[in-house]
Amino acid sequence: MGATFKKRHRLTKRAEFVRLTRLGTRCDSTHFFSVMLPGTGPDSRLGVTVTRRVGCAVVRTRIKRLVREHFRLNRQVFKSPYDINVIAKNGAKLADNGALFSSLEALFSRVEKLASS
């Protein structure tokens, strides 16, 4: 399995995000929370939401890039496909990259535990 982040690994349509928000299971970590549902396709897919409240465009883009990179490197953790939307909390703008990665690590381990149960 390659470590690229192709379009089939992304949530792209508004309806997909709305479905996740309405029906999904929520999971928290220090700087992020996620909403997840069992996937409909063969691969797990990721959506990233970072609102303007979190920070300026540079900060939001940095956070989105880190979330995508973490998912890209760790998506094989999920045994079955899941749709996951990772949403940044307000405090994420003050955290350095190491803290964000450890928060994502904790979040994805919780998501994986929920997925396997």
Q: Tell me, what's the pLDDT at 113?
A: 84
Enter the DSSP assignment of 10: B
Q: Where are the domains of the chain?
A: 7-116
pLDDT at 76: 80
CATH number of 7-116: 3.30.230.10
Q: Which amino acid is at 116?
A: S
- Averaged over 67-93, what is the pLDDT? 89
pTM here is 0.89
Is the alpha carbon torsion for 2, 86, 49, 15 positive or negative? positive
Question: 112 vs 7, 17, 37, 74, 95, CA distance in Å?
Answer: 22, 20, 12, 11, 24
Cα–Cα distance between 4 and 13 in angstroms, integer? 20
